[in-house]
Copies of this chain bind each other. A is one copy, B any other.
Amino acid sequence: MGKATKPLKAASKAAPSAAKPALRAIKGGKAVPPKPVAKAAAKPTVALKPAAPVADDVPVIALNLPQGKLSPAMTAYFKKCQDRLGFVPNVLVAYAFDNAKLETFVAMYNDLMLGDSGLSKLEREMIAVAVSSQNRCYYCLTAHGAAVRQYSSNPVLGEHLVMNYRVARLSKRQRAMLDFAVKLTASPWSVEEGDRERLRRAGFSDRDIWDVSAIAGFFNMSNRVASATDMRPNTVYHGQAR
């Protein structure tokens, strides 16, 4: 869920065609997947104009779960997403089959990613992407990769974190933060006091360590829900903030 505080004009124009079918998709059952990639001609000519974008997010998930009845709060939240982002992030569309599950997800997400913390919002998104890279989660890499590009105003940083966070030229603080989050993702059983001490030496308080851990944990959950259901990110994310 890549949150942006201002609508992205270009994106919002393209979004309706991408996001609305996504919303419909979970009502109408499985959509026909797009055709597989054609074998390219031997001497391709580089397209001068972009091809019409292929919606990659129909259906949103590979489970047939009709949308449930949303509470007024969730209906308002979806409207707010549409107004501010130009689309409703597909993870919300996916959870919308059950209003109770949607509400617990949104509450935890918003507390962790937007609530008070010693970590900046960019840092929280950086954790999201580094963890999702370890787990190779298409949904989260796309949505939160876009968020890193936006928050940092540094498109290349988003690519670094998607591909291999070790190539990013980070401050010691942020490198320590991502090292911890990735170790916690790859071998949680091996995290010990020495790892916490390394974070403290890099300037993190015990409360900050909780936040790094909880956010890394949250994306270890979301990555698995997304992979288990073949959740597809809104196509619009791919072009954001490049």
Binding site for B on A (CB under 8 A): 1-8, 10-11, 13-14, 18, 33-37, 39-51, 53-54, 56, 62-65, 97, 100-101, 103-105, 107-108, 111, 115, 120-123, 126, 133, 135-138, 141-142, 150-157, 159-160, 162-164, 166-171, 173-174, 180, 184-185, 188-193, 196, 206-207, 209-210, 212-214, 216-218, 220-225, 227-230, 232, 235-236, 238-242
Whether the Cβ atoms of A39 and B135 lie closer than 8 Å is no
Residue of A8, A37, A135 most packed against chain B (CB within 10 A): A37
7 nearest interchain CB pairs?
A213-B228, A136-B189, A40-B122, A2-B14, A36-B171, A221-B221, A5-B50
Given known contacts A121-B42, A162-B163, A242 and B3 CB-to-CB distance under 8 angstroms? yes
Whether the Cβ atoms of A100 and B115 lie closer than 8 Å is yes
Whether the Cβ atoms of B166 and A192 lie closer than 8 Å is yes
Whether the Cβ atoms of A214 and B220 lie closer than 8 Å is no
Whether the Cβ atoms of B154 and A54 lie closer than 8 Å is yes
Residues in B with CB closer than 8 Å to A230 are: 167, 192-193
Given known contacts A42-B121, A108-B105, A122-B40, A239 and B189 CB-to-CB distance under 8 angstroms? no
How many angstroms between the C-alpha atoms of A49 and B242 in the bound complex? 11
Whether the Cβ atoms of A46 and B228 lie closer than 8 Å is no
Give the distance to chain B from A192, nearest Cβ to Cβ, in Å: 6
Write the chain B residue with the least CB distance to A234.
Answer: B1
Give the distance to chain B from A172, nearest Cβ to Cβ, in Å: 8
Given known contacts A36-B169, A156-B238, A217-B228, A62 and B196 CB-to-CB distance under 8 angstroms? yes
Residues in B with CB closer than 8 Å to A184 are: 224, 227-228
